[in-house]
Amino acid sequence: MNRSLLRLSIIIPVHDGGENLRLCLEALAASTRSPDEVIVVDDGSTDGSGGLARQYGAHVVRLDGSPHGPAYARNRGAEAAQGDILVFLDADVVVHPDTLARTERHLAEHPEITALFGSYDADPPACGLVTRYKNLMHHYVHQHGRREASTFWAGCGGIRRDVFAALGGFDESYTRPAIEDIELGARLRDAGHRVWLCPDVQVTHLKRWTFAGMLRSDVFDRAIPWTRLILRDAHLPRDLNLDARSRLSALTMWIALVCLVLGFWSPWVWMGVLLALVALGMLNAGLYRFFARKGGLVFAAGAVGLHALYLIYSSLIFGSALGWHALQRVGEELAPKLRGLARPQSILLLLLLITLLKGWLWSVIVPMWQANDEESSFGYAQEIARQHTWWALSSQQVTEERALLWELLRPFKLSGQREPLDLSPAGLDQINSLKRQLDTPAARTTSVPAFWLPYFMRQHPPLYYSLQAAIHQLGAERNILVRMAWMRILSVIMAVGAVGCAYGAAHTIWPDQKWFPLAVATLVSFHPLFTFFTSVVNNAALEMLCWAGVVWLTAIVTRQGMNWRRGLMLGGAMAAGLLTRSSFLAAVPLVATLWGWKTLQTRGRCHWGGWGLTVIIPLALAWWWYADFLVSGGSAMVEVYRSSPPPPEP
C-alpha cells in the first residue's frame, strides 16, 4: 500500500476524561503527522468531555446512559471511522510528536503486518511509588518484548480497518477496561495475521495509580479474565508478562514463601528464602537496575517489593484458575454418572461423613498430648470425675498413669527439650515396661506427689470437661490411651454437629440457593483450625458447635421471627456456649443486636416471652461461674510436669 494513501483515524474512548483528555488532544494537535480524523467516543461522561473534544475539532460519538465500557465504545468509534488505519488511544495518554508518524511508517513499509502497538515511555509525570512502578514496569516489559507479538494493546495501537471489521472488533462482553485488546490480539493470531510490538512507538501515561486500584485492576481486570482466555484458547503466550523469566520468577517467590513457613520448624530452611531471593534478583537484574536508574535506591526497593507481590498474587490466581478448570472438566465427565446422586441432601450427608472420617484420621495422626492444652484439658476432666466437683483441684499430685504417660511420650514432645529416643534393647525394655504399667489398675488411682513442678492455669467453664468426665468415668477400667481416644471422638462428633448447623444457617439465609449452603458448610469443615481443635481434647470443639447453633438460630429468628420455642433453643445454646468457654461472651453482642433490630422493626411489638427466655436461661445457668470468676479471679487448676528427679532426703 502506498504510504501517501494511508489515512489514520484516531479513536479515543472516554468517560469523564477531564484534564487528561485535554492534554491528550493537545498532543495530537501538535503531532508532526497530523491525524486524518480524531473520533472521541463519549461513554456517558458527566464532566463535559464531549464538549471539550469538539473544541479541538474532534468528531464526537455520544453514548447515552451508564458507561458501556471501552470495548463497546471503540467499536462505535470504528464504525464511524473512514481511515485505512484505526489508531486506538486511551484518553489518559499523550502521544509523542513522532508517535503517529512512526505508526504510519511501520504499517506502510511493512504491508505484511496487520497491526502494531507500542509502549508507555519511561517518564511518567505522576508521582508516587505505585504510579511510577506500574508505568515503568509496563515500559520495561514492552521495550524488551519480542518483535512478533501474539497480543494487542489498545492504549496505543494501530490496526488495518478492513481486518478489524472482518474480525468483528473488540469483544463487547468486557464491560470494564480489561483484556479486550488482548482477546482481539488472540483472534488476530488465530486468523494468521501478524502483529508487531514497536518499542519506538511511545506515549506518556498520565494516570495516577493507588495500591488498591492496582490490586483491583491486576486481579479482576487482568489476571482472572486473562487466565480464562488462556484456558479458552488452550494457548499460553511466551512473551511480555508471560515469558520464561516471569514464570521462573513466580516459582522462586513461591519457593521463598514455602521456605519461610517451613523455617519455623527448622531454621536452616530459611536459607532457602535467601537463595530464592538471590535467584529472583538474578532473573530480574535488568529490571531492578532500571528501577534504580529511574528512581533511585529507595524507589527501587519499593518497586521490587511490589513486583514480588505481583508475582505471588498473579501466579496464585493463574494456578487456582487452572485447578478450578481441571475440576470442572472432571465434573463434566462425571456429571452424567452422578446426576442422580448430586442432590444437596446427598452431598450434605457425604460432607458430614467426610467430616467424621477426617476428624477421626486427624485424631489418630496427632500423638496423644501433643495438641494445644490437651494434657491440661484431660487433667481437668479427670479431676472432675475423681472429685465429683467443678472446683476440682489436683493440688501438687497427679495420677500415676498420667505421670507414666508423660514419661512415655517425653521423647516425642513438640515443645520443650526433646530427648533422643533410646531404641537400644534396654531402652525398648523401658518403653514396654511403661506400657505395661499403664494397664495396671492401681496406676489409675494412685497419685504421685513430691518432685513435680506445679504451674497454675485458669479454669475454663466446666460444661465441655463435664461431658469428657462422663466419658472418663464410663471407661474408668480402660487404659488412659483408650479413654483419651474416646474423648477425642466426642470432639469429632461435635464437629459434625457444627458443620450441620453451618449448613442450616446458610440454607436459612439463602433458601433459594441450592449449592451455596453446601459451600459454606464445606469451608467450615475444612478450615485448618476447625479440623485441628475438633479432633483433639479441647473445649473449642464444643464452643464451635454452640457458635454454629447460635448463628443458625439467629438466622431463623431473623427470617421467621421469635417465639417461645426459638427463645428456649437460643437461650439454651447461649447458656451452653457460656458454660463452655468465656470467649463465647462475644456472641452476646450478636444476639443483642438482633433483638434491637427486631424491636425496631416491629416497633416494640416483638415476642417478649421468647426474648426473655433468651436472656433468662443463660443468666440462670451460667451466672455462678462468671460471678465466681469475677469475685475470686476464678478457681485455679494445678497442672504439673516432672522437672527433675526428687531432691535427696536431708
**Taking residues 77-102, what's their average pLDDT?**
95
Distance CA 14, CA 370 (A): 62
Q: Which residues contact 649 (CB under 8 A, 6 or more apart)?
A: none
CB 28 within 8 Å of CB 95: yes
**Better-scored residue on pLDDT, 496 or 453:** 496
Distance CA 104, CA 87 (A): 10
Residue 458 pLDDT class (50, 70, 90 cuts):
very low
The H or E element containing residue 254 is: helix 244-262
Beta strands in 325-472 (DSSP E): 398-399, 447-448, 452-458
Q: What percent of the chain has pLDDT over 70?
A: 82
Q: Is 553 exposed, middle or buried (0-12, 13-18, 19+ CB in 10 A)?
A: buried
DSSP symbols for 93-122: EEE-TTHHHHHHHHHHH-TT--EEEEEE-S
Instruction: Report angle CA 568, 571, 576 to the nearest 5 degrees.
Output: 120
- Find the length of the chain: 650
**Taking residues 531-553, what's their average pLDDT?**
88
CB 144 within 8 Å of CB 197: no
Residue 421 pLDDT class (50, 70, 90 cuts):
low
Second-level CATH architecture of 3-208: Alpha-Beta Complex (3.90)
Distance CA 201, CA 74 (A): 20
Between the CA of residue 601 and those of 51, 308, 506, 571, 605, what are the distances in Å? Answer: 49, 50, 22, 21, 9
Instruction: Say if strands 636-642 and 452-458 run parallel, antiparallel, or are unpaired.
Output: antiparallel
Which residue in the block uniquely carries the three cell numbers 513457613? Answer: 261
Residue 202: beta bridge partners?
Answer: 119
SS (H, E, C) 580-620: CCHHHHHHHHHHHHHHHHHHHHCCCCCCHHHHHHHHHHHHH
Distance CA 175, CA 167 (A): 19
Indicate if the pLDDT at residue 507 is higher than 80. Answer: yes
**Taking residues 86-99, what's their average pLDDT?**
95
Q: Is 634 exposed, middle or buried (0-12, 13-18, 19+ CB in 10 A)?
A: middle
Instruction: Report angle CA 316, 319, 321 to the nearest 5 degrees.
Output: 105
- pLDDT score, position 289: 94
DSSP symbols for 434-456: HHHHHT-GGGGT-EE-SSEEEEE
The H or E element containing residue 270 is: helix 270-283
Between the CA of residue 90 and those of 94, 153, 493, 632, what are the distances in Å? Answer: 9, 10, 60, 71
Residue 337 pLDDT class (50, 70, 90 cuts):
low
**Better-scored residue on pLDDT, 458 or 590:** 590
CB 501 within 8 Å of CB 553: no
- pLDDT score, position 10: 96
Produce one character per residue of 477-499: b if its CB has 16 or more CB atoms within 10 Å, e if not. eebbeebbbbbbbbbbbbbbbbb
Distance CA 571, CA 607 (A): 14
- pLDDT score, position 163: 95
- pLDDT score, position 203: 96
Indicate if the pLDDT at residue 449 is higher than 90. Answer: no
Question: Tens digit of pLDDT for each residue in 10-28?
Answer: 999 999 999 999 999 999 9
Range name among 186-200, 310-324, 630-644 with the lowest pLDDT average: 630-644
Residue 81 pLDDT class (50, 70, 90 cuts):
very high
Range name among 253-267, 542-556, 568-582 with the lowest pLDDT average: 253-267
**Better-scored residue on pLDDT, 220 or 236:** 220
Q: Which residues contact 9 (CB under 8 A, 6 or more apart)?
A: 35, 36, 37, 39, 78, 81, 82, 83, 85, 86, 87, 161
Instruction: Report angle CA 460, 463, 467 to the nearest 5 degrees.
Output: 125
Half-sphere exposure of 91 (CA within 13 A, CB side): 26
For the chain, the structural domain boundaries read 3-208, 267-338, 343-369+452-460+492-650
CB 497 within 8 Å of CB 530: no
Q: What is the chain's mean pLDDT, rounded?
A: 82
Instruction: Say if strands 85-89 and 8-14 run parallel, antiparallel, or are unpaired.
Output: parallel
- pLDDT score, position 640: 39
Q: Which residues contact 218 (CB under 8 A, 6 or more apart)?
A: 310, 313, 314
C-beta contacts of 505-509 below 8 A and 24+ residues apart = 505/548, 505/551, 505/552, 505/555, 508/552, 508/555, 508/556, 508/559, 509/555, 509/558, 509/559
DSSP symbols for 214-249: HHHIIIIIIIHHHHHHHHHHT----SGGGSHHHHHH
Question: Tens digit of pLDDT for each residue in 364-397?
Answer: 777 776 676 777 778 778 878 777 777 655 455 6
The predicted model scores a pTM of 0.56
CB 7 within 8 Å of CB 36: yes
**Taking residues 266-281, what's their average pLDDT?**
86
Question: Tens digit of pLDDT for each residue in 625-644?
Answer: 777 766 555 444 434 333 34
For residue 482, the 8-state DSSP code is H
Instruction: Report angle CA 328, 331, 333 to the nearest 5 degrees.
Output: 115
Question: Tens digit of pLDDT for each residue in 484-494?
Answer: 888 889 989 99
Indicate if the pLDDT at residue 620 is higher than 50. Answer: yes
- pLDDT score, position 336: 60
Beta strands in 189-338 (DSSP E): 195-205
Cell numbers at residue 488, please?
477425642
Residue 157 pLDDT class (50, 70, 90 cuts):
very high
Range name among 119-128, 329-338, 522-531 with the lowest pLDDT average: 329-338
Instruction: Say if strands 195-205 and 37-43 run parallel, antiparallel, or are unpaired.
Output: unpaired
Beta strands in 150-190 (DSSP E): 156-160
526 Cα distance to chain centroid = 14
Question: Tens digit of pLDDT for each residue in 131-145?
Answer: 999 999 999 999 998
CB 553 within 8 Å of CB 566: yes
Indicate if the pLDDT at residue 586 is higher than 90. Answer: no
Distance CA 233, CA 114 (A): 21
- pLDDT score, position 650: 47
Question: Tens digit of pLDDT for each residue in 52-80?
Answer: 999 999 999 999 888 999 999 999 999 99
- pLDDT score, position 351: 73
- pLDDT score, position 96: 96
Half-sphere exposure of 297 (CA within 13 A, CB side): 0
Indicate if the pLDDT at residue 106 is higher than 90. Answer: yes
